[in-house]
Amino acid sequence: MTTEPEPRPVLVLASGSPRRREMLEEIGVPFEIRPSDIDESIRPDEPGPAYVERLAVEKALVAARPGTVVLAADTTVDLGGDLLGKPADRAEALALLDRLSGSTHHVHTGVAVVWFDGGGATTPTVLSSVATTEVTIAELPAPWKEWWVSGPEPYDKAGGYALQGSGGVFVTEINGSPSNVVGLPLDLAARLLAESGHDLMSFLSPPRAQE
């Protein structure tokens, strides 16, 4: 009597971020999107790495279902221990640029992978870690700041800028993973998935036989 192999799990991205979605799409790995709505408040005296790792795990657990492998991430910009969020308006965006101008900050991204082991397990297994990249911003003249805040880019990004967008013109040096600054350190995500027993290649469909 032969035993049927367990069906291949579905990779789920627990994020509504278009940047994270695009990064996975560029790899060519099929996945589903299941954004997680959680409280993202920072706890008292919580350092940046601990904050983003906690949120990534919470997001992944909310989205977890049997038969899936959930990938979640959360990113923050850390300037001397002060975690910078998304600016709410023009004044906040300008204030963020004033603080970042001519300085070096750290981008932390927590990544979590959550899955259910075979055999009808009801408790999910969790793997998580954090990537940190050091980013240096040029001294920004006032016209550059005004140009930047006049567009839509600063208002949906932690720290008010994005490496992959027009804000990349501000960045003079990066030490660490560039994809981490975009919002998903692909090397870390691939490593955690491999450690979970679900290598990225395992989600690809087998090549179709030629007729």
Amino acid at 154: P
Looking at residue 176, the DSSP 8-state letter turns out to be S
- The kind and range of the H/E element at 12 are strand 10-13
27 in a domain, yes or no? yes
Q: Enumerate the β-bridge partners of residue 171.
A: 137
Q: Answer whether residue 121 is part of any domain.
A: yes
State the total domains in the chain. Answer: 1
Tokens of 16: 């509504």
Nearest to 72 by CA among 102, 103, 107, 114: 114
Q: Per the residue annotation, which of 37, 45, 74, 89 is the catalytic one?
A: 74
Q: What is the extent of the structural domain holding 30?
A: 10-203
DSSP state of 196: T
For the stretch 90-126, pLDDT in tens is 999 999 989 999 999 999 999 999 999 866 667 899 9
Q: What CATH number does the domain containing 177 carry?
A: 3.90.950.10
Token pair of 167 as six digits: 């804000």
Give this prediction's pTM: 0.89
Distance (Å, rounded) from C-alpha 52 to C-alpha 109? 6
Residue 4 domain-assigned? no
User: Which tens digits make up the pLDDT trace of 40-66?
Assistant: 999 999 999 999 999 999 999 999 999
In 3D space, the residue among 170, 53, 47, 148 whose CA is nearest the CA of residue 104 turns out to be 170
Mark whether 117 is an active-site residue: no
Q: Report whether 107 contacts 74 (CB < 8 A).
A: no
